[in-house]
Amino acid sequence: MTARKLLIGVTALALIALPFVYKQPYHLHVLVLILIWSFAYTSWSVMGRFGLVSLGHGGFMGVGAYVTALLWNHLGVSPWIGIPLALLAAGLLAIVVGYPCFRFRIIGHYFALVTLALSGIVLQVITATRDFTGGSLGYTPERTKGSVLAAVQFVDKETWYLIALLVWALGLLIWYLVDGSMLRHAMEAISEDEDAAAAAGINVTAEKLKITVLSAVMTAFAGALYCQYQMFISPDTVSGISVSLQMVFAAVVGGIYVALGPTVGAVITILLAEALRIGFGTAAVGWDNLIYGVLLVCFIVLLPQGILGSLLVRRAAAK
Amino acid sequence: MNFAFFEVFDVYLLEAIVNGILLGGVLALMALGLNLIFGVIDVVWICYAELIMIGMYGLYYTYAVYGLPMWIASPMCIALVAVLGLLLHYIVIRPLLDAAPINQLLATGGVLFFLQSFATVAFGIDFRNLGIRLPVLAIGDMHFSYARLLAFLAALAGMVTIYLFMTRTYIGTAIRAIAQDRQIMVLMGVDSRRLYLVTSALGGALAGLAACLLVLQYDVHPFVGLSFGPITFMIVVLGGLGNFIGGFVASFVFAEIISLGGLYSDLEWGYVLAFAFFILMMFARPQGLLTRRS
Amino acid sequence: MLFVKGLVKRFGGFAAVNNVSFEVERGEILGLIGPNGSGKSTIFNVLSGTYRPTTGSILFNGHEIAGLAPHQIINRGIGRTFQIPRPFRRLSVFDNVALAGYYGQGRHSRAKAQASAERALAVVGLPTDARAEVGSLGAAGLKKLELAKALATEPKLLLADESLGGLDEHEMSRAAEMLRRIRDEMGITIIWVEHIMGVLMRVVDRVIVLDHGEKIAEGSPGAVANNPKVIEVYLGTEAQAQQELAAALHAEGAPS
């Protein structure tokens, strides 16, 4: 136990000290992206690990990003207030869509289809309100001069790296908290046998909603953070089906049942995207998703019991 | 024609209603394809809209770029997507027939990704248009594009053809039987592999037809599937996955909502309205969401 | 404690439960028997909230509970076991029971849940070892687990659904004894659905007999066993002769 704690401590220190020792801006940029997307993928896994596979998390991310940016640009609301409001919006959306689904036992691929429609609709809303949001052309939050804490805008990559690191660690913390909670047992019971879970006293709808709202809010936070970092958002980078599928792909490839699994997935997807961008330049647009698509199909077809099955087997063997 | 009759109604409202019906035809065609695949093979092709997108590009290239006449280009396009459907089933679905449904969804999701990116890489992200300008039919103050009318009639013709196929041919009857009860297949001694391939080809062909009709009216770009994909899923879920009549009815209901929504505001708000309707319907009529087979 | 009045449950045109009324007194063990398809499990499903009654009223401790959701009914103090055990295989034996203890009592405290779990497991005779897996339990063990889960919710009324299925004779009498002990030591009222009659008849205070969704007899085990309607429904009229034969044999002291 102490050896493990020592290892974690040393790694944490190394991660924190990194930007002070190694200041290559491009590499720090990639690291920030990896950290933010890891957090997003981890948010998806919070639900996905219990069989609540959502193909619509792009919608929540989009809500997080756009609400924050719109409140800042149009109403001058600081992201310190804007982000909580965005999280609230995402949570409400999760409830509005989740409640009828769970109350009426819409699960499995029906649920996936409903969430798919959700993310598509969020994209449509963003496009429809193009007068406010800039539509498919994208949207830019107004820049402040230099780093302004009140506007959550920082010029230097080092600061952003530390923020992203903190958020990523927060994501892992939440994952561990859920992992050790009764909610986790309840969700596992529900995913195995909903009726028996209800017979054990579990309010199935309520517990499912809880995990869904948590996941949605976390994802929205990732979206807001991404917006503040990149200072540019567009419907297809932060919302829509592509983002949703990308989340599923990364989490599934990296490993849904393991805390660091989504992080691994993020490392793979982002490094791949960057490698392609460097290798092919602008001609690389679309190639990364092409490869994800092929990889996703291969992964699912070739793993004998499918992704979830083989991970369960590996996990049981490891016990 | 006594135009006084039309003056009783708000002309634009009537126009929107009729346009809704016309739109419903094409949506019904797409819903039919999805329901066919689900009813027989028990799989949902999430990438269905993307198959249509490829078909749209297919028609664009054969007709607008290579100059083939429409009566050659359209069947080629339909055949192209039918083959794509076959390939999709053979390469992706067949190995996953016994896997958990979520894996099947994720796999078709991967194909969606793939097709969108393929189109981006191969065709670029610019919007392409067939460049056909069909005349507009004017009835009183209402205007209906011939493209839309043609699409509606072609969609109807497609559905009638499928109906005849399903009722007059052996394979079609087998498909109908299996769509009602999959267990029958073994008892009937039907070769399921061949049946699945035929169904996949049919589903692809329907998508191909829908592609031809859509590209007459709309521009094509790699992400055009995102415009009508979510709607199609809402239609088949609300109508009941595998429920042909339900899908047919739901198509027109949604089409009207979109059309009327578009009357009072931007087209995209029509979609939003449709989604809101969808959520409301889930509260009000959950039975509409359960297929006969669950 | 429990007043069921005019309970009807229809599925489409078919009435699985047709105008059934009965009472359950605090502290008794009530047997609910009847041939297959008589509506026993349906009544349990309605009582536990899995089904909503078509019509009828169910008063539990003075409150109307018909139509409440399963988790609400459990929180009010009605627990149930399933005829075919439905354990959560992904969780350990202890976690299965602790889960029921936590949610069944309204999510108040993990410590309380774990204490209830330990008590429940001790009563049924299963190990409280946190590592014991569901897979290591046999048929009898799974039944015990079902019971432990129900007990952990600290019920005032327990619906025991066919607790004897799949057990051998020795296990059966132990299971019956356990139910009696649960009533005696824990003060839990029990409704016991069973279709293996012999053991049940020795343990229950009262019996209700169902047939085709209707109540056809009610009373003490002895009275019900000799009720010709009951015999006919279960065994056909020949059985009456068999009964008399068995009674005669018993009177002569031969092992039955």
DSSP secondary structure of C122-134: HHHT----TT-BG
C64–chain A nearest CA distance, Å: 18
Contact with chain A for residue C110, Cβ under 8 A: yes
Residues C160 and C47 placed together within one structural domain of the fold? yes
Residues C183 and C131 placed together within one structural domain of the fold? no
Residue in chain A lying closest to B104 (CA): A300
Q: What is the pLDDT of residue C241?
A: 57
* Cα distance between residue A245 and residue B75, in whole Å: 33
C-beta of residue A243 within 8 angstroms of C-beta of residue A66: no
How sure is the predictor about C254, in pLDDT bands with cuts at 50, 70 and 90? very low
Residues C218 and C236 placed together within one structural domain of the fold? no
pLDDT in tens, C35-83: 877 888 889 889 988 888 888 899 998 888 888 888 889 988 898 888 8
Question: Closest Cα to residue B77, out of B198, B209, B214?
Answer: B209
How sure is the predictor about B81, in pLDDT bands with cuts at 50, 70 and 90? very high
Within 8 A of A307 by CB-CB distance, chain B residues are 103, 106
In a domain? residue C83: no
Token reading at C194: 């069973």
b/e map A62-101, b = 16+ CB within 10 Å = bbbbbbbbbbbbeeebebeebbeebbebbbebbeebbbbb
* Cα distance between residue A271 and residue C54, in whole Å: 60
* Cα distance between residue A235 and residue A73, in whole Å: 17
Could you tell me which residue, C17 or B100, shows the higher pLDDT? C17
Contact with chain A for residue B124, Cβ under 8 A: no
Dihedral of the CA atoms C216, C219, C225, C231 (nearest 10)? -10
pLDDT in tens, C201-214: 788 888 888 888 88
Residue C125 belongs to domain spanning = 88-154
Q: What is the pLDDT of residue C249?
A: 58
Could you tell me which residue, A114 or B208, shows the higher pLDDT? B208
| SS3 at position C219 | strand
| SS3 at position A283 | helix
Q: What is the pLDDT of residue A235?
A: 85
Contact C99 A192 (CB under 8 A): no
Q: What is the pLDDT of residue A84?
A: 94
Mutate to test the interface with C, among A193, A208, A313 (most CBs of C within 10 A): A193
The label of the residue with tokens 């299925």 reads C165
Within 8 A of A186 by CB-CB distance, chain C residues are 99, 103
Neighbours of B136 (CB within 10 A): 13
Residues C131 and C147 placed together within one structural domain of the fold? yes
The yes-or-no verdict on residue B37 having pLDDT over 50 is: yes
Q: What is the pLDDT of residue B7?
A: 52
C-beta of residue C207 within 8 angstroms of C-beta of residue C30: yes
* Cα distance between residue A183 and residue A179, in whole Å: 8
pLDDT in tens, B91-128: 998 888 877 777 788 889 889 989 998 998 888 888 88
Residues C218 and C248 placed together within one structural domain of the fold? no
A195–chain C nearest CA distance, Å: 8
In a domain? residue C82: no
Q: Which of A192, A198, A199 minimises the CB distance to C90?
A: A192
Contact B116 A289 (CB under 8 A): yes
List the domain boundaries for chain A. 30-238
Q: Using a CB cutoff of 8 Å and minimum separation of 24, what contacts does B106-109 make?
A: B106/A53, B106/A248, B106/A252, B106/A296, B106/A300, B106/A307, B107/A296, B107/A297, B107/A300, B107/A301, B108/B43, B108/B44, B108/B45, B108/B46, B108/B47, B109/A55, B109/A245, B109/A248, B109/A296, B109/B46, B109/B47
Q: What is the pLDDT of residue A172?
A: 93
Question: Closest Cα to residue A107, out of A212, A218, A178?
Answer: A212
Residues C129 and C162 placed together within one structural domain of the fold? no
The label of the residue with tokens 């392609």 reads A276
Q: What is the pLDDT of residue A46?
A: 93
- C138, C154, C170 — which closes off a domain? C154
Q: What is the pLDDT of residue B294?
A: 30
Could you tell me which residue, A279 or C238, shows the higher pLDDT? A279
Amino acid identity at B281: M
Mean pLDDT, residues B174-189 taken together: 73
**DSSP code, position A144:** P
Point out the least confidently predicted range of A258-262, B66-70, C150-154, C249-253.
Answer: C249-253
Q: What is the pLDDT of residue A238?
A: 82
Contact C70 A192 (CB under 8 A): no
Binned average pLDDT, 10 residues per bin, chain A of 319 residues: 80 81 82 94 92 90 92 87 94 92 80 84 83 81 76 81 92 93 91 86 92 96 92 83 85 80 87 80 72 82 54 51
How sure is the predictor about C247, in pLDDT bands with cuts at 50, 70 and 90? low
| SS3 at position A191 | helix
Q: What is the pLDDT of residue A221?
A: 95
Residues C2 and C71 placed together within one structural domain of the fold? yes
Q: C248 burial class (0-12, 13-18, 19+ CB within 10 angstroms)?
A: exposed
* Cα distance between residue B177 and residue B39, in whole Å: 10
Token reading at C60: 């539990």
Residues C172 and C135 placed together within one structural domain of the fold? no
Point out the least confidently predicted range of A98-112, B175-189, B221-235, C108-122.
Answer: B175-189
Residues C183 and C146 placed together within one structural domain of the fold? no
The domain total for chain C is 3
Contact A286 B268 (CB under 8 A): no
Q: How far from chain centre, in Å, is Cα C195?
A: 11
Within 8 A of B95 by CB-CB distance, chain A residues are 301
Mutate to test the interface with C, among A49, A182, A308 (most CBs of C within 10 A): A182
**DSSP code, position C51:** S
The yes-or-no verdict on residue C236 having pLDDT over 70 is: no
Contact C91 A188 (CB under 8 A): yes
Q: What is the pLDDT of residue C248?
A: 59
Q: What is the pLDDT of residue A169?
A: 93
